[in-house]
Chain A
Amino acid sequence: MPRYLRLLGIQLRTSLLLAMQYRLEFFLDGVMSVFWTASALVPLLVLFGARTSVAGWTWPEALLVVAAFTTLKGVLDGAIQPSLGNVVEHVRKGTLDFLLLKPVDAQFMVSTSRFEPWRGSDMWLGLLLFAWGFHAMGRTPTLGGVAAAGALLVAAVAILYSISILVISLAFFVVKVDNLIYLFISVYDAARWPASIFRGALAFVFTFVVPLAVMTTFPARALLGRLSTLEWAGAMVGAAVFSWLARRVWVRSIGHYTSAGG
């Protein structure tokens, strides 16, 4: 375990050094993050400009969902997507061989190979949005609520990571999967809305197939003290099962690896 921690430290340092070279990128990505977060808020502003509540959510409450969405987006863009995007390239070129030869777990190596701290700036914006939401409500969250929401956000990161692992596991079977990651990100976009707005088939998909509701709406509800213990536990167990499943699929898929091109 300490060996893996040290390795993580080294990987982080190389990523940071690499990132320091692109200071202009840092600036641009920061500006773009602000732009995207602002543009994500526009439909909400339009909606709540005419309504005081939508599907049981008021403006500051919906803001908490956007906050969870933005925070997770930061993790996705800054930590998950850059390294896992590399795997697809490694598989296609066959350079994954070099990683597999190393005497450490391959999944750990590929998952920590690249961090883009600048792209993670959404994380801080997300935290700001949490603060804004509670400021607009004129109250502070309870300590229990914060703890429950924090745990849910960690679970959400696990889910995001697991979905990404499942997607890139496909790279061992089909060649072109980089746009599948893009597809997943486009689906994730729907998570900025409180899940109860969606009805019918979409509500089912967003809870059980791609658990968007669990990722962003649950933490917001936990902060508001509106999440039952059962729902909380269900989400945590679900995330654990999902992570286990992703690990199994990864191990099976890597058995299929035959160097270069699949």
Chain B
Amino acid sequence: MTAALTALPRRSFVRTGGIVAALARIAFAAAIAYRSQFIVWILATNTPLVMLALWSSVAREAPFGHFGERAFVAYFLLTLIVRLLTGTWVVWEMNLEIKDGTLSQRLLRPVHPFLVYAVDNLAGIPLRVLVSLPVAVVVVATVARAELTSDPLMWLAAPFAVLGAWLISFSAMLAIGSLGLFWESSIALWDLWFSFYFVFSGYLFPLELFPRWLLRWVAVSPFPYTLSFPVETMLGMTSRADVLSGLAKQYAYGVGFLVLALWLWRRGLVRYAAYGG
């Protein structure tokens, strides 16, 4: 009896693992099949390059704050890489599926839809890494020695910071997507989030350039942790202690949003009527 009880969770764990592996295979195949869409998305992620051209030409006249021309090049190329690795669009997918009722098919599956969404998203990573590689090569070839950090601890922290950035964006998207079960215009909230992200994540310029009083408020918000935190870690712009406390805050936000999303999802499903939300 007791043996059966202890075996049960382990078996279901193994089963979930199998399901995830199968889902990942399907999602990877889908990512390959729809590669043209993916390429368009990559081409559309051109803001960091435009900003690079802009700020580095400004810095050519004279350094801007701490940033010289090369520092801007390093900053925006890393921004591009982090953005390529962590970008998600699950909120649009959820919104569409709730509106046209195809969400019902997901609900019939014996896994949590959030897990499926996450696997879908993460299965694209090989492709994302593939397109990020040339950018990384450019970074290493041009500005690496002068601008990147040489502290091994920073490089150890960097992958976790990138993963944390993904976790925050993805969970926030899940939370806003779940709101779609209550409110048909929930996508407007995403627009709002994105407009804040645009300005306060370091996507358009290094946050350091903000006036100090504003920076204090920005640092409390989740937005820097979705982009500028991993970038600044790799550039060695933060101290060791700040990186560790930054990681803690980052994962607190990520898990917080995930819990919120799960709660909203459970409450929302009760109201879900398979068509039109």
Contact residues of A with B, CB < 8 Å? 24-25, 28-29, 32, 35-36, 39, 42-43, 46-47, 49-51, 54-55, 174, 176, 179-180, 182-183, 186-187, 189-190, 193, 197-199, 202
Task: Tell me which residues across on chain B come within 8 A of A28, comparing CB atoms.
Answer: 185, 188
Closest B residue to A22 using CB positions: B185
Stretch at the interface among B132-140, B198-206, B252-260: B198-206
B8 at the interface (CB under 8 A from A): no
Which of B34, B36, B53, B209 is in CB contact (< 8 Å) with A198?
Answer: B53
B40 in contact with A43 (CB, 8 Å): no
Task: Report if A176-B65 is in contact (Cβ < 8 Å); known contacts: A32-B188, A42-B199, A186-B47.
Answer: no
Closest B residue to A192 using CB positions: B50
- 8 CB-based A-B contacts, threshold 8 Å: A39-B198, A42-B199, A46-B210, A55-B57, A183-B43, A190-B46, A197-B57, A198-B54
B114 at the interface (CB under 8 A from A): no
B102 at the interface (CB under 8 A from A): no
A178 CB → nearest B CB, Å: 9
Closest B residue to A55 using CB positions: B57
B64 in contact with A197 (CB, 8 Å): no
B1 at the interface (CB under 8 A from A): no
Task: Tell me which residues across on chain A come within 8 A of B210, comparing CB atoms.
Answer: 46
A36 in contact with B195 (CB, 8 Å): yes
Task: Tell me which residues across on chain A come within 8 A of B204, comparing CB atoms.
Answer: 42-43
A54 in contact with B185 (CB, 8 Å): no
Task: Tell me which residues across on chain B come within 8 A of A39, comparing CB atoms.
Answer: 195-196, 198-199
A179 in contact with B192 (CB, 8 Å): no
Task: Tell me which residues across on chain B come within 8 A of A49, comparing CB atoms.
Answer: 211
Which of B54, B192, B209 is in CB contact (< 8 Å) with A193?
Answer: B54
In Å, the complex CA distance between A47 and B58 comes to: 9
B90 CB → nearest A CB, Å: 16
Docked complex: B26-51 residues within 8 A CB-CB of A:
34, 36-37, 40-41, 43-47, 50-51
15 additional contacts (CB under 8 A) given A39-B198, A186-B45: A25-B185, A25-B188, A32-B192, A32-B195, A43-B205, A50-B209, A176-B36, A179-B40, A186-B44, A189-B50, A197-B54, A197-B58, A198-B57, A199-B57, A202-B50
In Å, the complex CA distance between A189 and B48 comes to: 12
Interface of A is mostly: helix
Task: Tell me which residues across on chain A come within 8 A of B40, comparing CB atoms.
Answer: 179-180, 182-183
Task: Tell me which residues across on chain B come within 8 A of A42, comparing CB atoms.
Answer: 199, 204
Which of A36, A51, A179, A197 is in CB contact (< 8 Å) with B44?
Answer: A179
Task: Tell me which residues across on chain A come within 8 A of B51, comparing CB atoms.
Answer: 43
A131 CB → nearest B CB, Å: 23
Per-residue contact bits, chain B 182-199, to A (CB 8 Å; 1 contact, 0 not):
000100100110011011
In Å, the complex CA distance between A176 and B198 comes to: 27
Closest B residue to A35 using CB positions: B195
B46 in contact with A35 (CB, 8 Å): no
A187 in contact with B57 (CB, 8 Å): no
Task: Tell me which residues across on chain B come within 8 A of A186, comparing CB atoms.
Answer: 43-47
Task: Tell me which residues across on chain A come within 8 A of B54, comparing CB atoms.
Answer: 193, 197-198
A183 in contact with B44 (CB, 8 Å): yes
In Å, the complex CA distance between A182 and B87 comes to: 15
Task: Tell me which residues across on chain A come within 8 A of B37, comparing CB atoms.
Answer: 176, 179
In Å, the complex CA distance between A32 and B36 comes to: 30
Closest A residue to B206 using CB positions: A46
Closest A residue to B209 using CB positions: A46
A190 in contact with B192 (CB, 8 Å): no
Per-residue contact bits, chain B 124-145, to A (CB 8 Å; 1 contact, 0 not):
0000000000000000000000
A75 CB → nearest B CB, Å: 19
Task: Report if A54-B58 is in contact (Cβ < 8 Å); known contacts: A43-B204, A179-B41.
Answer: yes
In Å, the complex CA distance between A29 and B192 comes to: 10
A50 in contact with B65 (CB, 8 Å): yes
Task: Report if A51-B205 is in contact (Cβ < 8 Å); known contacts: A25-B185, A179-B37.
Answer: no
Which of A32, A189, A198, A202 is in CB contact (< 8 Å) with B47?
Answer: A189
B206 CB → nearest A CB, Å: 10
Closest A residue to B204 using CB positions: A43
Closest A residue to B50 using CB positions: A190
Docked complex: B45-100 residues within 8 A CB-CB of A:
45-47, 50-51, 53-54, 57-58, 64-65
Task: Tell me which residues across on chain A come within 8 A of B185, comparing CB atoms.
Answer: 24-25, 28
Closest B residue to A177 using CB positions: B40
Closest A residue to B60 using CB positions: A199
Which of B41, B46, B195 is in CB contact (< 8 Å) with A187?
Answer: B46
In Å, the complex CA distance between A32 and B193 comes to: 10
Task: Tell me which residues across on chain B come within 8 A of A180, comparing CB atoms.
Answer: 40
Closest A residue to B41 using CB positions: A179
In Å, the complex CA distance between A119 and B123 comes to: 35
Closest A residue to B55 using CB positions: A47
